Amino acid sequence: MDDHYWTGGDGEFEELGVLVEGEVVMSAPAPESRSTESRSSGVEDLDLADVEREICRLPDVSIARIVAEPSGRVSEVHVVAHPGKHPKQIVRDVQSVALASFGLEIDRRVISVVQLGQGLVDTEVAAGPRPSIIAITAEASGLRSLVRVTLARDDDEAVGFAEGSIATTARHRLVAAATVDALRQLEPAAECVDIDHAQIVRVGSHDVAVVTVVFVSPPSEQIVSGSAMVRPQQEADAVARAVLDATNRRLAFLPVT
């Protein structure tokens, strides 16, 4: 399935080319310069990496790169997105994030969106086995707690560790961190994964474990979430399953560092 390259314009979205083996067959026309200085998109006082990270928090965006001219005007914004949402809406989302979070106005004509084909990703992910949870244990010693999470994939088994406070607020994060530690031993690409937050929330009459995970690809970071229903007396198991829910579909096509 070919990947299509889109760009914004004064009218409707136009499909300008096809992404073939990492190259765009047709390139977008150079954006026209702003007619008034008051409307220019200046970044003199902004860290572009912060803007890129915020754009990557959009659920449909995986990679974002911003290019600015020496004058500080944003000249190019390149976005790699998942299929599903129309590219025109993704451009609007990027504009909204930049303006609301940083006061940065970006001309829609300089934003290019590439949507990767869904079929290839689904095939690759489905082909590989996923880790399963074998055991979760916790030991308390004074004010410290040591959590062990054992994962298995095929014939491989790994034990992850996390140590921290015995405080109730730290308990779920320790389980999540130990799960990621075990995952790194089974999947080298998981080195770029870290835990942002882990907690149990009430949804209607059910408890649900919700975990947010950070995928680090300097200079960008992407935060994704995973969730799992809490079975009776198995909160730790639900937290570990939520971590796997957040990471399973993404690790298959991450580069090994």
- Kindly state whether residues 105 and 176 are assigned to the same domain: no
pLDDT at 44: 59
Which domain covers residue 96, as residue numbers?
3-123
Q: State the chain's mean pLDDT as an integer.
A: 78
pLDDT at 6: 56
Query: Which of the two residues, 169 and 19, has the higher pLDDT score?
Result: 169
pLDDT confidence tier of residue 255, bands split at 50, 70 and 90: low
The verdict on residue 257 lying in a domain is: no
> Residue 170's domain is classified under what CATH number?
3.30.160.270
Q: Give the domain-ending residue among 123, 149, 179.
A: 123
The verdict on residue 140 lying in a domain is: yes
For residue 100, the SS3 value is helix
Stretch 199-204: mean pLDDT:
90
pLDDT at 191: 87
- Which range (2-16, 30-44, 56-70, 116-130) has the least confidence? 30-44
pLDDT confidence tier of residue 68, bands split at 50, 70 and 90: confident
pLDDT at 8: 53
- Kindly state whether residues 190 and 79 are assigned to the same domain: no
What's the pTM value of the predicted model, to 2 decimals? 0.52
pLDDT confidence tier of residue 80, bands split at 50, 70 and 90: confident
Percentage of the chain beyond pLDDT 70 is: 75
- Kindly state whether residues 58 and 91 are assigned to the same domain: yes
pLDDT at 59: 83
Cα–Cα distance between 194 and 212 in angstroms, integer? 9
Six-digit token pair at 46?
């902004």
Stretch 132-158: mean pLDDT:
93
**pLDDT of residue 246 exceeding 90:** no
What is the total count of domains within the chain?
A: 2
Give ∠ CA 101-218-71 in degrees, rounded to 5: 55
- Kindly state whether residues 119 and 133 are assigned to the same domain: no
Q: Find how far residue 87's CA is from the centre of its chain.
A: 18
Q: What is the DSSP string of 165-234?
A: E--HHHHHHHHHHHHHHHHHHH-GGGGGEEEEEEEEEEETTEEEEEEEEEEEETTEEEEEEEEEEPBTTB
Stretch 4-18: mean pLDDT:
50
pLDDT at 160: 95
- Say how many residues make up the chain: 257
Q: Give the domain-ending residue among 94, 123, 152.
A: 123
pLDDT at 241: 94
The verdict on residue 256 lying in a domain is: no
- Kindly state whether residues 145 and 243 are assigned to the same domain: yes
Q: Give the domain-ending residue among 96, 123, 150.
A: 123
The verdict on residue 32 lying in a domain is: yes
> Residue 99's domain is classified under what CATH number?
3.30.70
